[in-house]
Structure 1
Amino acid sequence: MITQINKEELLAEFEEKYVANRWVNEFIQIDERYKNNTVAIEENLISKFDSVCKKVRDLQERNLKGEIKYIYFSLLRTSLLENKGQYRIDLYDENWFLDKEEDSINIDLDFIYTSLFKHMEELKEKKNEYGRNITDMDIENIMLQEAEKYHILAVEFLKGLIEKFINISSYEEIKKIEDIMILAGEYMDAKEIIYPRQEDTPS
């Protein structure tokens, strides 16, 4: 029976051989994928944001939702296990997560995460070199660790799109507080303010 120490050593060797710094080349490919499909990617995401803003506007017209104070883009980690790079957009009034009228829509950032999923499929083949010592669960854990890098890239991408989101008419028509905040992170766990940009915020 393999000892825990040997298991850790094998995993460390496996990750050094097949995982370490792989994301660098993947990010170059993601950038190319984005450049080749910019219009389609952005139009799809703006359309989804437009759709959820219209839902909120309709609720506000019926006095069922207050002024929007927070917009939150959240990574759905469970979707990663299904090989989907999904984020959820929620618009909240001052009640934040206790907002009774839930308004959300899922968006796909597969153009970013496809590289991660393809890499993990390759790792499932490579693990056979190690017999039963490296399991599918180990590959899943590696994916969730690597996904953090892709999430950082996704947040930077969303930062670059914010101005286009907030310039559509449906967003302008919803009632919102003056110092509205747009955040990105994992679901129910706000991490980073992506609008207003911190350099634009008075100290």
Structure 2
Amino acid sequence: MDKQAALQHFKKHHFTPLLDIQLDMLEAMFHRYQAQLIFDFKESFRDLCIHILSMQQQGQKDPIGYIHYSFLRTQMLEQTYLYMVEAYSAEWYEDDSDCKLTYDASWAYAPMSTMLETLEQERKIYMGTITSVDVERMMLESAPFFHQFVNSLLRLGMAEVVQMPEYLAIHKADRVAIRTGEYKDISENLYVEDQKSLLADQVREQLIHSSEEEPYVYENLKRLSLPHIHLMQKDLRYNDFSHSDLRESQFHSCILIGSIWQRANLAGSSFQGCLLTDTDFRYSDLRGANFSSASGQPHREHGVRVPGLCGLRFEHANLDGADFTDVHSFEHVCFEGATMQGTLVPRKYQQHWKLSEAQRQSIVWTE
């Protein structure tokens, strides 16, 4: 067996099966200990904000425009799973005033150590054809599979950390972006904040005229008055509509992956046929909202599980009279504290959804 054939055989019969097992175990742990993981992240973020403010009070740091959580593949070979967390001014990488701490992500990457130990033994059956360097290379290439869990955890905690007094106290640029990704490589927004107020009419026009070629995504659309807006087949993923007035609005067959609607007024609105994977409706007013035929379909392909790890969040929302007829892939949903008087729910979710007895009694179960 030549080198290339041996690598393909090793990857197919040893590396990939072991990776799948570890990712399944990590996903179970991610959901089981989510509250503690979010708490730890919040404490880490609090420390960062205190450090930023201290530097600013000493005149060593300009208003913050970027906060970046970076993973470094080189450290992974040393089994050091610390993210570098850096705060930059609006000039981003041109800001040469170092402001950095670390975030311990070993909870997500610890399986890599287990895999390295196992694979190091299994490669030996290939009689020297596969080296330790080959195994290390495979492990480094798998880093994004573990990063996706950190990405999802940061998203889950972001709404809380940006309300902390320590974050509110730091001096910010006109636009702040909190991002994550590989160090000085591809990254994505977790949170965007504009200090300047957006004009509702301007945003309405941008939403209406967005297209597949120019989608309107990853934007901060908080505290806007946009009632009765009608949007069809728009890509609005990861937009933040929190605290906005969107009464009687229509979002028909839109892509709303990872969008946030916390404390929004969505009474009488429709999300019919929308893709709602990882969407956050916590504390929102959804009285009479129509979710018929909506989907929470998670992404599952060759170890990729994002979007889909965060689940749908309806904690403390008002869902009285809402319609969940024919929704699908809604297994991972949280309704803690939500009111559901007269909410229409397919009977198949009786066993899947974790509901209080009061919620079960107030729901109208449909076939």
- Same fold, judged at TM 0.5 (above): yes
Residue 185 of structure 1: how far off its partner (Å):
1.1
Residue in 1 that maps onto 2:98: 102
The structure with the largest alpha-carbon Rg is 2
Residue in 1 that maps onto 2:3: 7
Match of 2:168 among 168, 172, 189: 172
Residue in 2 that maps onto 1:46: 42
Q: Is the 8 A contact 2:38 2:153 kept in 1?
A: no
Tell whether 2:161 aligns with 1:151: no
Aligned residues, how many? 198
Residue 21 of structure 1: how far off its partner (Å):
4.7
Alignment of 1:80-91 (within 5 A): 80-91=76-87
Q: Write the letter of the residue equivalent to 1:66.
A: D
Partner Cα distance (1:22, 1:153) in 2? 17
Partner Cα distance (1:16, 1:146) in 2? 14
- Unaligned runs of at least 5 residues, structure 2: 193-216, 219-236, 242-367
Q: Which has the higher contact order (CA 8 A, sep 6+)?
A: 1
Residue 94 of structure 1: how far off its partner (Å):
1.7
| 3-state SS of 2:97 partner | coil
Partner Cα distance (1:11, 1:26) in 2? 20
| 3-state SS of 1:181 partner | strand
Alignment of 1:1-203 (within 5 A): 6-196=2-192, 198=218, 199=237, 200=239
Q: Is the 8 A contact 1:33 1:111 kept in 2?
A: no
Q: Is the 8 A contact 1:116 1:143 kept in 2?
A: yes
Partner Cα distance (2:188, 2:56) in 1? 27
Q: Is the 8 A contact 1:70 1:93 kept in 2?
A: yes
Percent sequence identity over matched residues? 22
Residue 23 of structure 1: how far off its partner (Å):
3.2
| Distance of aligned partners of 1:88 and 1:81 in 2 relative to their CA distance in 1, 3 Å threshold | same
Q: Give me the CA root mean square deviation.
A: 2.0
Q: Write the letter of the residue equivalent to 1:88.
A: M
Q: Write the letter of the residue equivalent to 1:104.
A: K
Mean CA deviation greater in 23-32 or 144-153? 23-32
Residue 33 of structure 1: how far off its partner (Å):
2.2
**TM-score normalised to the size of structure 1?**
0.88
Q: Is the 8 A contact 1:74 1:88 kept in 2?
A: yes
| Distance of aligned partners of 1:164 and 1:79 in 2 relative to their CA distance in 1, 3 Å threshold | farther
| 3-state SS of 1:19 partner | helix
| Distance of aligned partners of 1:178 and 1:23 in 2 relative to their CA distance in 1, 3 Å threshold | farther
Q: Write the letter of the residue equivalent to 1:55.
A: H
Q: Write the letter of the residue equivalent to 1:54.
A: I
Cα shift readout 1:33-53 (whole Å, capped 9, x = no counterpart): 234433443332222211121
Partner Cα distance (1:62, 1:144) in 2? 40
Larger helix proportion of the pair? 1
Partner Cα distance (2:104, 2:52) in 1? 21
Partner Cα distance (2:189, 2:124) in 1? 42
Partner Cα distance (1:180, 1:110) in 2? 27
